[in-house]
Structure 1
Amino acid sequence: MDSQRNILLIALLFVSFLLFQQWNADNSPQTQNQTAAQSAMTQGDVPSHSGDSATIPGPSSSDKLIHIRTDVLDLTVDTLGGDIVEAKLLAYDNELDSSDPFVLLKNEPAHQFVAQSGLIGANGIDSTAGRAQLNAEQKEYVLADDQDELRVPLTYSKDGIEYTKTFTLHRDSYALEVSYTINNLSEKPATVQMYAQLKQTLMDDGGSLTMPTYRGGAYSADDEKYNKYSFDDMADKSLNLSMKKGWAAMMQHYFVSAWIPEAIPANANEETPSNNLFSRTSQGQGYIGVRMPSETVQPGSGLTTTAKLWVGPKLQDKMEATAENLNLTADYGWLWFIASPLHKLLSLIHGFVGNWGIAIIILTFMVRGVMFPLTKAQYTSMAKMRMLQPKLQAMRERFGDDRQRMSQEMMELYKKEKVNPLGGCLPLLLQMPIFIALYWALMESVELRHAPFFGWIHDLSAQDPYYVLPILMGVTMFLIQKMSPTTVTDPMQQKIMTFMPVLFTGFFLFFPSGLVLYWLVSNIVTLIQQSIIFKQLEKKGLHSK
């Protein structure tokens, strides 16, 4: 197996991988029309407390808004129900070099994405009549420079019961607590149930062949660490799961919003009510969320029920500290066990060098250094196979169409010469998972979003604007071909192999520059390793062009 065929195999595997990702994107739900989205905004967003997925009609938005600002978040809260209808991430630009922050949650006619929470049940304040109009003492709440915590209370009274919905935010944190305190001053017991859900206009993934992305639901439950649940899945079948711990999320490229209810103690008996994970679609909107167990407040008593909300970038360490398995929303696919350590190593290197592009270069040298024994075995096997070509050709002439005899003689020759005919292919197959895992590690790393390298590369998550890196990558691939020994004599195969660098260059023109940088540096390392290996083989008399 020679290097040209190895390159062809890489191309086939890689293109097949990209086509599979694009097939997933093409079969995702399409964006609904604006009329349906606007119609949905006039409907209520309160889930039934009976355990089904019904929607209770009623007004869901008003013009009475308050603003909450910390060092990393700028939230807009609608006091009708207390929903978060806009979330700006102050540390992330909307576009490269933009002065506007990235908006994750939004309440626009064409795209609504809001975080809702409320109380249902016999004494809930969200019902068929509509959402409760909560009262706020201020219109603006700002985390002061000398504060580490900001608490924003919204109040409501009904039938002798006082309700306080409190948002608690922390410095340098995308996780906040949303709690309800119920103070029962009436003469009867009060029963309430907290719910928390994410609502978003049904949209497609918005990805491409070279950058496949996912927009939709995801959840974690007792027996499932992480599972995607797309808008299509929601439309086909509503979720209705009981769980002691977990979360419900909506995610997109680089960012995620997730509700995390209070966990039920693991040692709780079977009769203890569990949290309920649910989803549904209605009027062009998708919903996913949790219902917490019903609570009864006796007269003269009070209680507080709380859920956490993550609304921010996919910062894996911070997400992992917020909720178990929430870091898995940085989705590395089935090769996560390789991609996750690569990302951690990349982050560690960045901590020393301070530049993500340089960190990618160092990581590439480290990965290729670890794989050097495989590379050496590959080229050694290729060289031995090339040296056996005259004997193999003589066998073909001698045995003609007797394939069985030819196969037996070939195996005897391989055994005698201690050659593994798959020795040049197996190292390549072992390298491919590493490349694909690193592909996802770079694709899913929000740290690379708008991260500059040097010169003309201002964003490692975007394509090279002048295509310099892809062209250099193609040139190095061509040089690798020229340096490698070949047994291919068929003119058509030779033309195909010659065309491979051009094909790869065409693909990589539209790839994120961080990934192209990795491939380019990997090719340079390959050229260096080839020179070293071939010199060693020449001393053994194995290498000859």
Structure 2
Amino acid sequence: MDDNKNLILATVLSFAVIIGWTFFFAPEDVAPEQVATTTEQLAATPPAATSQSAGTTSTTPAEAETADAPRIAIDTPALEGSISLIGGRIDDLLLKSYKETLDEGSADVRLLAPVGTDYAEKPYYAVYGWLPAGSMDPALVPNANTRWTADGSNTLTPTTPVKMSWDNGAGLIFHREVSVDEKFLFTVTQSVENNTGAAVRLAPYGIVARHGRPEGNAFYVLHEGAVRMSDGKLEEVKYKDITKLDTDEREGQAEVVDVTENGWVGITDKYWMTTIAPMPGQGFKSVVKYTPNGEIYQTEARLPVVEVAAGANSSVSTMLFSGAKEWETIKDYEADKGIVGFIDSIDWGIFFFFTKPMFWLLHTLHGLIGNMGLAIIALTFVIKLAVFPLARKSYISMARMKELQPEMEALKAKAGDDKMKLQQEMIALYKTNKVNPASGCLPMFLQIPIFFSLYKVIFVTIELRHAPFFGWIKDLSAPDPSSILNLFGLLPYATPEPGSIFFILSLGVLPILLGISMWFQQKLNPAPADPTQQAIFAWMPWIFMFMLGSFASGLVIYWITNNTITFIQQYTIMTMHHKRPDIFGNIKEGFRKKKPTETKK
């Protein structure tokens, strides 16, 4: 009886886990002076729309015409796109190694998109510039609509950086150099020459701006929105929470954090990210901001005010990551470029101390095996081996409890209605036979964080995106595409699309195998006598089968492998400590029609 209760407890806990995860988890600045900061100016306002008052800047929103602007091409092994000379925006970026779908001829994934194009309903870009300090006229510094002039090469490659310049006509000449590596990291160097005959004060900035939320489902288990590291502290702000930021008279809807030495800030999706990182040791103000007019989500890196003496110049460099959240690539940038804590831009979850090493192991196994599905199976074996001492203790406890079942029934009959006497006798029985009833449950609780972590790894890792297994499984990050509704492809009918009301009924081969594996594991023990427990046992495998039908194939493969290994372990240990389980006898008993229980008169 107790082993059945433990199994029910484990099943219910697992069920609760699935439900929960699915539906809910500086250099010294000049303090007395204000630096003009405004989302509209930095995102898309022409200089003519800007007015100055009392050291601050106010603007009227206006979209820059960037679609037909002169451009500098971007061509690297990983990236293709262009930089607009209007504002010097990095706003056109495609990822060469990633396709939108598995269809032949599918387009490359578009990460950044300019304002005013028919393929970019929701512009997304990075823009750099300078902000005036003190009484300096905002028209004297470049903004998001400044027309820059290309100096030299018109194609940005890993071996040919590009340069641009802008002369404000009043003695200040601004320069910008952009370089890029073989993967996803840009370096932007901004400089200014002061030929005015007097010192000037101004501050460089970098911005990542997104107009509107990205299309697709929002996942409670995954963070999408703003992400930043501020002197070792990671902060994640979802899109919906960005819209709820407190309104400040000067800043608007913004949250400003002072970073002393090391940090970065940007916008992240499930698989892609655009992030600005000042150079190591550089202090700055990290800003997360929202503008309702235009629904602009924005992150900013505002560097300290600099004073440029007459005849002098000043420059500052920042790094811009814009690309796929590849673990190895991000890890290398953290180590080689000094972007502190950059690996935490990947959403590891609350059990990061499990998730990080687990992902490393999956990544390593994938490198050795060459097939991500087989790597998941191998990872499951490694995890089961690691927790086997706990599992063995649990299985042995269940087997020992079964051995004591006749004596426990005798004690119940002897004690009658005396609950206190029964409890004392049972404690004495456990002590004599050196059995701890709680030992069967504790390992189940300890394994829950491991399941959380593995679920998180399979869900967020980009290595599973469009990764094939065998046969019909072409994408381990997507549900099993086969369907019982068309007899797994034998009938010429299309299956329901994901998200439709009938999709949950469109069971594939993997979910069905999952249900069968759970059902066989259940049949290691006879059906419990209690009708409520019988009902739970009868329905649980099939509830899980339907519920997990829409989960990623990689996770279902893990679960099938886990159930199979668990079945073998339990069967072996129960055979050693009790007797060989009569699986087929338990199956027959489950199908046998039960006679109604007679009531006493």
TM-score for the superposition, normalised by structure 1: 0.86
1:72-221 equivalences under 5 Å are 72-97=78-103, 98-107=105-114, 110-122=121-133, 131-137=145-151, 140-143=154-157, 148-158=158-168, 159-171=170-182, 173-203=183-213, 206-207=216-217, 212-221=221-230
Q: Distance in 2 between matches of 1:17 and 1:202?
A: 32
* Separation (CA, whole Å) in 1 of partners of 2:290 and 2:357: 37
Equivalent residue for 1:303, pick from 314, 320, 337: 314
- Please state if 1:473 is matched with 2:514: yes
Q: 1:450 aligns with which of 466, 489, 502?
A: 466
Equivalent in 429, 433, 445 of residue 449 of structure 2: 433
Partners of 1:58 and 1:129 within 8 A in 2: no
Distance (whole Å) between structure 2 residues aligned to residue 205 and residue 386 of structure 1: 54
* 1:137 to partner: Cα distance: 4.8
Paired residue for 2:502? none
Q: Is the 8 A contact 2:124 2:209 kept in 1?
A: yes
- Answer yes or no: is the 8 Å Cα contact 1:164–1:181 preserved in 2: yes
Distance 1:304 1:495 in 2: 72
The structure-2 alpha-carbon separation of the partners of 1:344 and 1:213, relative to structure 1 and needing over 3 Å to count, comes to: same
Q: Which residue of 1 aligns with 2:554?
A: 514
Q: In 1, are the aligned partners of 2:45 and 2:144 still within 8 Å (CA)? A: no
Distance 1:179 1:12, change over 3 A: farther
**Contact in 2 for aligned 1:11/1:504 (Cα 8 Å):** no
Question: Paired residue for 2:235, among 227, 232, 235?
Answer: 227
Distance 2:107 2:69 in 1: 24
Distance in 2, matches of 1:261 and 1:18, equals 40
Residue 36 of structure 2 is matched in structure 1 by none
Task: In structure 2, give the amino acid aligned to 1:308.
Answer: M
C-alpha distance in structure 1 between counterparts of 2:53 and 2:318, whole Å: 17
- For 1:280, the equivalent position in structure 2 comes to 289
Post-superposition shift, 1:231?
A: 2.5
Contact persistence 1:4–1:481 (CA under 8 A): no
Deviation at 1:206, TM superposition (A): 3.9
Q: Say whether 1:291 aligns with 2:308.
A: no
| Aligned-pair CA distance for 1:221 | 0.3
**Using the alignment, how far apart are the partners of 1:320 and 1:51 within structure 2?**
42
Cα distance 1:55–1:75, how it changes in 2: closer, same or farther (>3 A)? farther
What amino acid maps onto 1:170 in structure 2?
Answer: D
Select which of 535, 542, 559 maps to 1:502: 542
Q: Is the 8 A contact 1:104 1:312 kept in 2?
A: yes
1:324 Cα deviation (Å)? Answer: 1.4
1:114-164 CA-partner distances (Å, limit 9, x unpaired): 212211114666869863211125795153xxxx43311111112222211
2:566 to 526, 539, 542: 526
Count of matched residue positions in the alignment of Structure 1 and Structure 2? 513
Cα deviation per residue 1:465-492 (whole Å; 9 max; x = unaligned)? 1111111121111111112x35721123
Secondary structure at 1:236 match in 2: coil
3-state SS of the aligned residue for 2:476?
A: coil
What SS is found at the alignment partner of 1:217?
strand
Offset at residue 456 of structure 1 (A): 0.8
Q: 2:288 and 2:58 mapped to 1: Cα distance?
A: 10
Name the SS for the 1:334 alignment partner: coil
Residue 64 (str. 1) matches residue 69 (str. 2): yes
Asked if structure 1 preserves the Cα contact closer than 8 Å seen for 2:154 and 2:162, the reply is no
Give the AA of the match of 1:240.
V
| Contact kept? 2:156, 2:179, Cα under 8 Å | no
**What is the distance in 1 between the residues matched to 2:303 and 2:7?**
54
Unaligned 5+ residue runs, structure 2? 26-39, 246-253, 334-338, 483-507, 584-601
Distance 1:91 1:52, change over 3 A: farther
Q: How far apart are the structure 2 equivalents of 1:208 and 1:6?
A: 35
CA distance in 1 between counterparts of 2:416 and 2:271 reads 59
Question: Could you tell me which residue of structure 1 aligns to residue 594 of structure 2?
Answer: none
Contact kept? 2:89, 2:144, Cα under 8 Å? no
> Does structure 2 retain, via aligned residues, the 8 Å contact 1:261–1:290?
yes
Q: 1:239 aligned to 2:255?
A: yes
Aligned-CA RMSD value: 3.1
> Residue type of the partner of 1:249?
G
Q: % of aligned pairs identical?
A: 28
Q: Residue deviations 1:86-115, cap 9 Å, x none? A: 221111111124431111122366322221
Instruction: Tell me by how many angstroms 1:338 deviates.
Output: 0.5
- Shift in alpha-carbon separation, 1:475–1:18, aligned structure 2, 3 A: closer
Distance 2:70 2:426 in 1: 80
d(CA) in 2 for partners of 1:91 and 1:440? 24
**Does structure 1 retain, via aligned residues, the 8 Å contact 2:113–2:120?**
no
Higher Cα Rg, which structure: 2
- Seen in structure 2, the aligned counterparts of structure 1 residues 456 and 4 have a Cα distance that, compared at 3 Å, is farther
Report the CA distance between 1:233 and its aligned residue: 2.7
* Deviation for aligned residue 1:395: 2.9
- 2:55 and 2:348 mapped to 1: Cα distance? 33
What is the CA–CA distance in structure 1 between the aligned matches of 2:550 and 2:568, rounded to whole Å? 27
Deviation at 1:192, TM superposition (A): 2.2
Which consecutive residues of structure 1, in runs of 5 or more, have no partner in the other structure?
26-37, 266-273
What SS is found at the alignment partner of 1:74?
Answer: strand
Please tell me the residue identity of whatever aligns with 1:252.
Answer: D
How much does 1:51 deviate? Answer: 11
Residue 34 (structure 1) aligns with: none
**Higher relative contact order by CA 8 Å / sep ≥ 6: 1 or 2?**
1
Q: How far does residue 505 in structure 1 lie from its aligned partner after superposition? A: 0.8
d(CA) in 1 for partners of 2:432, 2:146 = 85
Measure the CA separation in 1 of the matches of 2:56 and 2:242.
14
